[in-house]
Every structure is written in C-alpha cells, then in structure tokens.
Amino acid sequence: MSEEAARSRVLVVGATGRLGGSLVRASLAAGHPTFALIRPHYFALPDSAPLKPLAAAGATILKGSLDDYWSLLEAVRQVDVVICAVPTKHALEQKPLIRAIKEAGCVKRFIPAEFGVDHTKVQICDMDHGFYEKKAEIRRLIESEDIPHTYIYCNFLMRYLLPSLVQPGLDAPPRDEVTIFGGGDTKGIFVEEGDVAKFTVCTIEDPRTLNMTLYLRPLGNIYSLNELVSLWETKINKCLKKIHITEEQLLKNIQNAPFPLKMDLIFIYSAFVKGDHTYFEIDSRSEGTQLYPDVKYT
C-alpha cells in the first residue's frame, strides 16, 4: 500500500472560505488525499475562479452543499475525516452533515466548525445574542450521536481586531490616541489562520486528540491590550494618548451600539475584560503547541 493510500482521506466543507482554503492546503501539505465540497453556484461563475486554486493545489473538487443531503452523503462516503469550516452564523447547517456522517458509518473523526472561543467557558452567554448557543447545540448533537470528534479552539483569528490594535471601526492601528478597554491587563489570544489549519490537520491521525478538545495558546500570541499598545508605540517610536473605558462604560456602549459594532464590543468585553480566552487552566496534553512542538507558528 502506498503512503498516500495509507493516509486518511479528508473532506473539507466550507473550502472556499479563508479558513477552509487554509485547511485544504494544510491537509494536502501533510500528504492527505483531500476533497473540497463546493456549492453548485460556484461552478457557474466565469472561469470557476474560487475552484482553480483548490484544484491547482491538488484537491479533488466535489459538487454539493449542506442543504443537499444526498450530495453530502455521497461526499462523506468517500473519506475518513470530515472538517467543517462554515461561519458560526451557519453552524446549525451542520445538522444534515452530522446525519450523513452517522449514516455513512465510515468517518473516523469529525472536526466541526468550532474554532474561535470555547463556548463552554465563556462568561457572556446571556449577552451574545445566541452566537454561542448554535455551536453548543451542534456539540450536543455530535456527542448524542456518538460521532468521533475533535474540537479546536483558537480564540481570535489574527485578521479579527488585531489589525486595528483592537480598535473597532479602524482598519489600521491608531497613531495618535488609543482606547483601552477595562484595566488593559487581561490577556487575549490571536492565531493566524494558516497556523490554525496546520494544528488542526495534526490532530487527524493522533489518537491523543480523539474525542478531545485542542486549545491553541501559542506563548508568543498571548497579549493584553496594554502590551499590544506598548509594542506598537515601540514600533512607531511614539507615545499614544490613552482613553480608558471602564467595564461599566463598555457595558453601556454595548447596550447602545448598533450591529455589527455591538458584537465586536461583546467579543472585546469577553476576551479583554472577562478573560474568556485565558481565565481557565488547561492541561499541556490539550494545548496545540505542546502536543505539536515542530509546528512553526506566526
């Protein structure tokens, strides 16, 4: 049997998204025969632009979608591992995928569209407008159906909030004044998308992570707002004016803010005031950089 034939065959759902594309590339780089489930409308686009990079990388393109059960079942029957990377707003659309995995009976591991923050640990579930309940419902379904799984939690992706130095409404870090939410010393975690994908693919054939949770807490990526601002001030050789927003004021701002700003402020409150990324201890056996020290991360 060839080495490729011996490797797990991987299906990525949501492959045209940024995280999904990274997962396809990481899976291929690790030597896994990799399949990308692509919604039918993409095939009708001129030159099928979103499909070309995936096919050129070596992925097998399958036509199907989460709302077409038979296409899901046909795709799932071809693989050993399913990874889903749909956005949280579509999390409940994983239900037919779970049904297909159960019916196919050949999937050795399902990695659902968790990523982000561990919703079993967040302390803001009464103010998140149902954001985390969708993921919680999917998690309950996976476990009630005895689907072999791994949950991956990376907290914030680097493309979210970090480019503006956690300043909602800005596209780049400020150069004159900066807002500090809360005391500024609570730490959040940012992980680059390609790194999330590499760590995720590492779990595919690792028995240590089967039916377990993997947290990504790279030591070089855990920073408080005060530390981030200090790094930026050093880089631009300038001291910025600090505007401090108390927890009480932030909660008022959240109440009055329109969407999507409201959700940005809620996630800032969760990470940098309540400490939802870092307030709880984790075992080294469930942390990605400890389990896979050879993975180089940004």
Bridge partner list, 149: 110
SS3 content of the chain, % helix, strand, coil (to 5): 45, 15, 40
Q: How confident is the model at residue 49 (pLDDT cuts 50, 70, 90)?
A: confident
Per the residue annotation, which of 89, 108, 135, 242 is the catalytic one? Answer: 135
Measured in whole angstroms, the distance separating CA 287 from the mean position of its chain's CA atoms is 15
Q: Return the percentage of the chain with pLDDT > 90, whole number.
A: 93
Pseudo-torsion of CA 246, 252, 255, 260, nearest 10°?
Answer: -40
Per-residue pLDDT, averaged over 185-207, amounts to 98
d(CA 120, CA 111): 17
d(CA 203, CA 103): 23
Position 4 pLDDT exceeds 60: no
Per-residue pLDDT, averaged over 233-259, amounts to 98
Q: How confident is the model at residue 5 (pLDDT cuts 50, 70, 90)?
A: low
Per-residue pLDDT, averaged over 222-246, amounts to 98
Element (H, E) at 157: strand 156-157
Bridge partner list, 244: 180
d(CA 50, CA 42): 7
Bridge partner list, 287: 215
Per-residue pLDDT, averaged over 105-123, amounts to 97
The pLDDT assigned to 1 comes to 44
pTM above 0.85, yes or no: yes
Position 48 pLDDT exceeds 80: no
- 32 φ/ψ angles, rounded to the nearest 5 degrees: -85, 130
* Closest listed residue to residue 272, CA positions, set 225, 230, 228: 225
Position 3 pLDDT exceeds 60: no
Per-residue pLDDT, averaged over 78-92, amounts to 97
Q: How confident is the model at residue 6 (pLDDT cuts 50, 70, 90)?
A: confident
| Token pair recorded at residue 264 | 């940005």
Residue 285 CB coordination number (10 Å) = 11
d(CA 179, CA 243): 5
d(CA 113, CA 147): 14
Question: 3-state SS of 90-107?
Answer: HHHHHHHHHHHHHHHCCC
Position 193 pLDDT exceeds 70: yes
**Better-scored residue on pLDDT, 163 or 44:** 163
Q: Return the percentage of the chain with pLDDT > 70, whole number.
A: 98
In the chain, what's the furthest Cα-to-Cα distance? Answer: 64
Measured in whole angstroms, the distance separating CA 169 from the mean position of its chain's CA atoms is 22
Per-residue pLDDT, averaged over 227-234, amounts to 98
Domains annotated for the chain, with CATH where assigned, are 10-157+190-219+279-291 (3.40.50.720), 162-187+221-273 (3.90.25.10)
- Mean pLDDT over the full length of the chain: 96
Element (H, E) at 268: helix 261-272
- Residue 198 appears among annotated catalytic residues: no
| Token pair recorded at residue 124 | 């803001």
